[in-house]
Amino acid sequence: MPHSPEPDEDVLDAVAPPHPVFHVEQALLGAFLLEPQRLNEVTGVGPDAFSTAAHAALFAAISSLPAPDPAEHAAHPQWLDAVLAVAREQARGLTATYLHSLIQVCPWPPHAPAYARMIEAEHCRRRLAAAAQHLIQSARDTSLPQPVASTLDEADVLGCGVDDITARFPPHAGSLPRTPTPPQATTHDQDAVDEERLLLATATAHPNSVGQMRWLTPGDFTHPVHAGLWLCLTTLIRRDTPVDPVTVLWEAQHRGLLGAGAEPREVLNLLAGPVGSPEHWGERILHRSVLAAAHHLGRRIETFTNDPANTPYQLVVGSRRALADLTAVRTRWQHATTEPAPTTRPARTTRTEGTAAPRAGPPPTTTPPVARTPR
């Protein structure tokens, strides 16, 4: 049953206590109210760095008013009255009593730069968390006209935020977050499964096209059996061995796929009925993989920011590593969707090791002339 407070019980006791940064903000504002000249010693924070609207309004008011003479400020509180009047334009709930309480809770005004550094660190955490949430939402928004482009734009915004935090808090060597990363989200999308099946069938029927699809990896597949079959296909093609449903089935047996829930007849049926081109279905699969990688990136960084034990240095290192994983998938997407630039073929080329063999063309329609032997 829900708890019913007693008549003499203070309902405010049920309110969650403020975060530590709230008390740090009180100490910094108290230092400025007590010794306004301390504002010149502080850099890196603005009104948006504070966690509450009241504190932001107070900092903005303090910053906008010229600091009074220290001796005059100690004797007369006119400057405090001016700060309160300006701040109440943005936060009407502020009172003179709260300003005096801020002065009382400040332990040591000369520590204002240290307090400001703490507030700056917490603001960076909130900025990073907000950018990660925007990325997660974009990666799951099916209404976007260009989901991949929009999601990668959000990833760029997040990357710029990480760069800014790096400039403010250069990371130390080995400062990795100790927070466990969340597992990769598993999707049960029937469209994704159908597209993977169509790719495998079409690639088996047209293996020559698969050699140009190095931008697709088994990790892009949502179904583990499909990922294994794609590895079988690419392995056979790399060995330059015949590719058809039977040879793929034989390779799947050697890789232990048939014991993982796939029966031989099911594999043969899966590889039958090609439709379209392998490149088309491969791009569809990679499209989903990019969005899944972006979603996982956002969740990883969100998890880091939710752990108050992580310092800004650890957030930078963990975020950079997470961004690097998305960059790898993004590079493959660019290779898959970018048309190769036309190149001028030299008059004579020499095949070297690692050069792709020319594609087989149609048979000649005329018989080449036979060289005559001189009598």
Dihedral sign of CA atoms 359, 339, 155, 191 in order: negative
Q: Is the dihedral of CA 105, 108, 110, 115 positive or negative?
A: negative
Pick the CATH number of 17-107 from 1.10.860, 1.10.3470, 1.20.120, 1.10.760: 1.10.860
- 3 state DSSP class of 101: helix
Res 171: pLDDT: 74
d(CA 303, CA 297): 10
Residue 292 tokens, joined: 């899944």
**Mean pLDDT, the chain, integer:** 85
Per-residue b or e along 42-70, where b marks 16 or more CB atoms closer than 10 Å to that residue's CB:
beebebebbbeebbbbbbbbbeebeebee
- Tell me the average pLDDT across 209-228: 92
pLDDT category at 211 given cuts 50, 70, 90 is confident
Q: For the chain, what are the domain ranges?
A: 17-107, 122-181+290-337, 190-288
Above pLDDT 90, what percent of the chain?
A: 68
pLDDT digits (tens, 9 = 90+) for 319-357: 999 999 999 999 999 999 987 655 545 444 443 333 334
Rounded CA-CA distance 189/63 in Å is 54
The yes-or-no answer to whether 17-107 and 190-288 have a common fold is yes
Rounded mean pLDDT, 120-140: 96
> Which pTM does this prediction carry?
0.79
* pLDDT for res 307: 93
What is the spatial distance between Cα 151 and Cα 333, in angstroms, rounded to a whole number?
13
Answer whether 216's CB lies under 8 Å from 278's CB. Answer: no
Condensed to tens digits (0 to 9), the pLDDT of residues 88-118 reads 999 998 999 999 999 999 999 999 999 999 9
Average pLDDT over residues 276-284: 94
CATH 1.10.860.10 fits 190-288, yes or no: yes
What confidence category does residue 274 fall into, taking pLDDT thresholds of 50, 70 and 90? confident
Of residues 169 and 367, the one with the higher pLDDT is 169
Decide if pLDDT at 10 tops 60.
Answer: no
